[in-house]
Amino acid sequence: MAAAVVEKVINTTMGDAKQRQMEGYRLEENSKTPLTTYFGAKVENTDIALRAGSRGPTVLEDFHNREKISHFDHERIPERVVHARGAGAFGEFKLHTALTGITTAKILTDTSKITPAYVRFSTVNGSRGSADSVRDPRGFASRLYTEEGNWDIVGNNIPVFFIQDAIKFPDLVHAVKPEPHNEIPQAQTAHDNAWDFMSLHPQSTHMQQWVLSDRAIPRSFRHMQGFGVHTFRLLDADGKSTFVKFHWTPHLGTHSLVWDEALKLAGQDPDFHRRDLYDAIEAGSYPKWELGVQLVKEEDEHNFDFDLLDSTKIIPEDLVPVKNIGTLTLNRNPDDYFTEVEEVAFCTSHIVPGMDFSSDPLLAGRNFSYFDTQISRIGVNFPDIPVNKPVCPFATNLSDGHMQTQSKKNRTRYHPNRHDALPVTAPQHGGFRPYAEVVNGIKERMHGPKFNEFINQAQLFYNSMSETEQQHIISAAQFELSKCFETQVQQAAVERFNMINHEFAKAVAESLTSVTVPAPAKYHNQKSAFLSQVNGKSQTFTAEGRKVGVYVMEGFEYSQIAAISAAMQAVPMMVKYVGPGTGPVKSSSGETVTAEFTFENSRSTYFDAVLFVGSPASDQSYLKSAKNGRLIHAAREAFMHQKTVGATGNMVGWLATMCLPGDVQVSQDVQDQTGVVTAVNVGSGAQFAKTFIDGVAKHRVWERDVSHIAA
C-alpha cells in the first residue's frame, strides 16, 4: 500500500488511548526551558523593547517585540455563535449491555472495550465570558473516540428543542441573543425579543416549559441529564433499522439550584459550574453517567400521537423505557483550555457504522451547520487538532488547506488510483452504509401532520411537576415577563401559558398589571412518572459529591466536628472549612483544620449545606465573634435556599436566637427540625453525621416555609 496519511495506531482497547495520543502534542516547558522566539532563537530580554537611546523611539527591527505583540493580537478565534461558554473533560466509556442484533456498531456491542471519551458542557445563550448559573439550556456534547471513528452525540440537558426545522435556527438565535440595538441582556431570555419569538412560534411551547423549570438552572454539570434529542437509527448486519433516542443519566441524580441562588452566583462565582467540574475531577470524585437508549421498532414508528421526527417531543418513558447500556466516567481535566476545550469541534454528522440519522428536519440542518461553523471558527483542517483526532487509524484523500500541518506522502490523493491506495471498505467489513430508506414524496415545504400539535406534551410536563416545581415555573415566568416591556409580548406569552394550565397563566397575569387573564382552555390531566426532579421515578438522591461549608473560628471544639467530618468524607462528600481567614484554624485542644474559604470571600451559595461548629461551653468570646453579619447571613441564606443547615455545641443557641428565631429549638440531643440539624451535645457524632448526611442527600428541604426569611 502506498504511503498514506495513516495515524500511528494506538491500542484502542485502552481507555487512555486518547491521552497517550495527545502526549505527542504536549509542550512540556518547565522553569529550565530557555525562553526563545517562535523560531527558536534564545531571548536575552523580554521586558524592555529595543530603543534608540533610553528615552528615544522604539525601533522596528526588534523582531522579538514585534512577534510577541503580533501573536498576541491574533490570539483569539471567533467564539461559538451559540454555546460559547463551556467547560470540558476527558474520560472513558464502558459498555455493559450489548445491543447485539440491533446494531453492528462495535461501541454498542462490544462490552470488552474501554473507549476514550470527551464531554464539553456549555450554556447556550451567553458569550464566552458570561456566567455559568444563568437560566438557559445546557449543552452536553459528548464524543466517544471509538475504534470505528469518532461518535459525537451533541446533546442538551433538555430532551426537546424550541423549533422543529433547522431553517428556523437563525431566527431563534437572533431572537434569544441580547437585543441588537444595545446588546442587553447578556445570557438570558428575559427580554421582549425572546418572548415575542416564542409567542409567535407555538412549536416552542413544550421547550418553554423546560426552560422555565429548574432544569435550566442545574446545580452542576455533574447533576445534569444529557439527551441526544433527535431520533437516530441503529442498523443491524442486514441493514434493518431500529429508531433510537440517546440519554445520559447522572449517577448523582438530576438536581438544580434555586433561582435566587442562581442569580447571586452569577456575580459571586461566575465560574461556579466550571469550577465544580474541575474541582470534582481533581479531587478524584469522578462524575459518571449511564448511556441509555429508547428503542422503537421500525414498524412501530407511527404508533404514537406525536411524530418521532419532531424534536419538540419526547418519547415519554412511560411508553418506551430507557434501557441503560454503558457508563461514562469523566476523570481527567484538560491541560490547556484553548486547544482542548475552545478548539474542540463537535459535528452531529460524526456517527459510526451501524447507525444513521432519521429524517428529523432539525437534525438535517445540524448535520450541515456544525461542520460549516468549524470551518469559519477554526479552519478546514479542524480535524487535525489533537482533541478532534480519532484514535483509530484514519486515512483520507483530503488535502492541503489553511494550516495543514501534516506532510502527506501519499502521491495519489484520488480514488481510484493505480496503487489501489486508500481502498474503500465494503459494509460487511465495516464500511459505513446508510440506511436504505425508501423515499418518495412531493418536493414541498411541509412537515408531517403530527408536527402541528404543540400543547399536549407541554401540559404533560407541567402536570408531572411537584407543587414546588410548578411554583418555580410560575415564579420563573413572572420574572422573565417582568423583564419584557411590551404589553403585547406579555399578553401573548400569558395566553400561551393558559393553553397549558389556567392557574399558571392566572398567577403570571396577576403579577403583570397590564395583562388580562384569558378564559380557561381545554386541559388533559395526564402525567408522566419520570419528569419531576422531586419525585420522578428515575431520580437519584445521594450526598455523594456534595460540598459542605463547615464554619469554624479560633477555639472551636475539635471533638464536635472530627467524627462528623470523617463520616462526610467517607461518603465521599467534600468538606470545606470556612474561617475568619484562609489557612489553619486552631481548636481549643490544639488541633488545626485548614480553612479554604473565609467568611468574607465565600457565600452560602457555594455549598450544598452549611454547618456551624461551636466552642467549649465556657468560651464566651467565641459566641461574641459569631455575632458576625456574614456568618449570620450564611445561615439565614442557606435556610432560605432550603438547604440542610447544621449547628453543634453553643452554636445551636446562636442559630436559634441570632439567625432563625422561631424556626429552631435548642436541644441537647440530635434534632432534625425540617432540615435544621442540631445537637448541643453531639456525643460520638455518629447520629448527628447520619442525620446531617441524610439531609444533604435529599438535596433540598422543599417543605420548609421560607416566606418569612429575607435573602
The catalytic residue positions are 83, 156
Return the residue of 156, 254, 559, 565 that touches ligand HDE, per CB under 6 A: 156
**Nearest distance from C-beta of residue 342 to ligand HDE, angstroms:** 9
User: Residue 231: which of 221, 245, 219 has the closest Cα?
Assistant: 245
Side chain identity, residue 186: Q
**Nearest distance from C-beta of residue 338 to ligand HDE, angstroms:** 13
Return the residue of 149, 155, 353, 579 that touches ligand HDE, per CB under 6 A: 155
Q: At 653, is the secondary structure helix, strand, or coil?
A: helix
If residue 647 lies in a helix (H) or strand (E), which one and from where to where? strand 644-648
**Does the footprint of ligand HDE cover residue 325 (CB under 6 A)?**
no
Per the structure block, which three cell numbers stand in for 458? 407541554
Per the structure block, which three cell numbers stand in for 406? 501534516
Binding mask 278-317 for ligand HDE (x = CB under 6 A): ---------------------------------x------
| Residue number with CB closer to ligand HDE (357 or 599) | 357
| Residue number with CB closer to ligand HDE (376 or 482) | 376
| Residue number with CB closer to ligand HDE (166 or 481) | 166
Q: Give yes or no for a contact between 543 and 696, defined as CB atoms under 8 angstroms apart.
A: yes
Return the residue of 154, 234, 265, 531 that touches ligand HDE, per CB under 6 A: 154
Side chain identity, residue 328: L
**Nearest distance from C-beta of residue 274 to ligand HDE, angstroms:** 13
The DSSP secondary-structure symbol of 655 reads I
Return the residue of 166, 235, 385, 573 that touches ligand HDE, per CB under 6 A: 166
| Residue number with CB closer to ligand HDE (207 or 655) | 207
Distance of CA 648 to the CA centre of its chain: 35
| Residue number with CB closer to ligand HDE (83 or 547) | 83
**Does the footprint of ligand HDE cover residue 80 (CB under 6 A)?**
yes
**Cα 229 from Cα 495, distance rounded (Å):** 27
Mark the segment that binds ligand HDE (CB under 6 A) among 49-57, 69-77, 79-87, 667-675: 79-87
**Nearest distance from C-beta of residue 72 to ligand HDE, angstroms:** 25
Return the residue of 10, 22, 82, 670 that touches ligand HDE, per CB under 6 A: 82
**Nearest distance from C-beta of residue 207 to ligand HDE, angstroms:** 9
Mark the segment that binds ligand HDE (CB under 6 A) among 149-157, 592-600, 635-643, 689-697: 149-157
| Residue number with CB closer to ligand HDE (127 or 542) | 127
Q: Give yes or no for a contact between 673 and 665, defined as CB atoms under 8 angstroms apart.
A: yes
**Nearest distance from C-beta of residue 143 to ligand HDE, angstroms:** 10
Q: Which residues contact 239 (CB under 8 A, 6 or more apart)?
A: 427, 433, 435, 436
Find the helix packing angle between 487-498 and 192-200, rounded to 10°.
Answer: 40
**Hey, which residues between 541 and 580 contact ligand HDE (CB under 6 A)?**
none
**Does the footprint of ligand HDE cover residue 141 (CB under 6 A)?**
yes
Side chain identity, residue 416: P
- Distances in Å between the alpha carbon of 710 and those of 591, 640, 691? 36, 8, 27
| Residue number with CB closer to ligand HDE (349 or 404) | 349
114-123 and 609-612 beta bridge pairing: unpaired
**Does the footprint of ligand HDE cover residue 90 (CB under 6 A)?**
no
**Does the footprint of ligand HDE cover residue 127 (CB under 6 A)?**
no
| Residue number with CB closer to ligand HDE (369 or 475) | 369
Return the residue of 90, 93, 169, 504 that touches ligand HDE, per CB under 6 A: 169
| Residue closest to ligand HDE when measured from CB atoms | 139
Task: Give how many residues touch ligand HDE by CB under 6 A.
Answer: 26
Binding mask 95-124 for ligand HDE (x = CB under 6 A): -------------------------x-x--
Q: Give yes or no for a contact between 464 and 532, defined as CB atoms under 8 angstroms apart.
A: yes
Residue in the structure block whose three cell numbers are 429549638? 665
Q: Give yes or no for a contact between 532 and 465, defined as CB atoms under 8 angstroms apart.
A: yes
Return the residue of 320, 362, 465, 682 that touches ligand HDE, per CB under 6 A: 362
Residue in the structure block whose three cell numbers are 465494503? 426
> Is 577 labeled as ligand-binding?
no
Residue in the structure block whose three cell numbers are 455518629? 686
**Cα 406 from Cα 585, distance rounded (Å):** 56
**Cα 350 from Cα 389, distance rounded (Å):** 12
| Residue number with CB closer to ligand HDE (359 or 369) | 369
**Nearest distance from C-beta of residue 493 to ligand HDE, angstroms:** 22
**Cα 495 from Cα 515, distance rounded (Å):** 10
- Residue 527's CB is within 10 A of a number of other CB atoms, namely 17
**Nearest distance from C-beta of residue 389 to ligand HDE, angstroms:** 16
Q: Give yes or no for a contact between 483 and 191, defined as CB atoms under 8 angstroms apart.
A: yes
Side chain identity, residue 643: K
**Does the footprint of ligand HDE cover residue 81 (CB under 6 A)?**
yes
Residue in the structure block whose three cell numbers are 441509555? 292
| Residue number with CB closer to ligand HDE (308 or 489) | 308
**Does the footprint of ligand HDE cover residue 251 (CB under 6 A)?**
no
**Hey, which residues between 442 and 501 contact ligand HDE (CB under 6 A)?**
none
644-648 and 609-612 beta bridge pairing: parallel
The answer, yes or no, to whether the previous bond of 572 is cis (omega within 30 of 0) is yes
Q: Give yes or no for a contact between 157 and 120, defined as CB atoms under 8 angstroms apart.
A: no
**Hey, which residues between 226 and 245 contact ligand HDE (CB under 6 A)?**
229
Binding mask 363-402 for ligand HDE (x = CB under 6 A): --xx--xx--xx----------------------------
609-612 and 547-551 beta bridge pairing: parallel
**Nearest distance from C-beta of residue 155 to ligand HDE, angstroms:** 5
- Residue 20's CB is within 10 A of a number of other CB atoms, namely 14
Alpha helices, DSSP H only, in 429-545? 456-464, 467-482, 487-498, 502-510
Per the structure block, which three cell numbers stand in for 593? 483544620
The DSSP secondary-structure symbol of 318 reads T
User: Residue 646: which of 595, 687, 609, 601 has the closest Cα?
Assistant: 609
Per the structure block, which three cell numbers stand in for 159? 430532551
Return the residue of 248, 259, 346, 357 that touches ligand HDE, per CB under 6 A: 346
Binding-site residues for heme: 370
**Footprint on this chain of ligand HDE (rule: CB under 6 A):** 80-83, 86, 120, 122, 139, 141, 154-156, 161, 166, 169, 229, 311, 344, 346, 362, 365-366, 369-370, 373-374
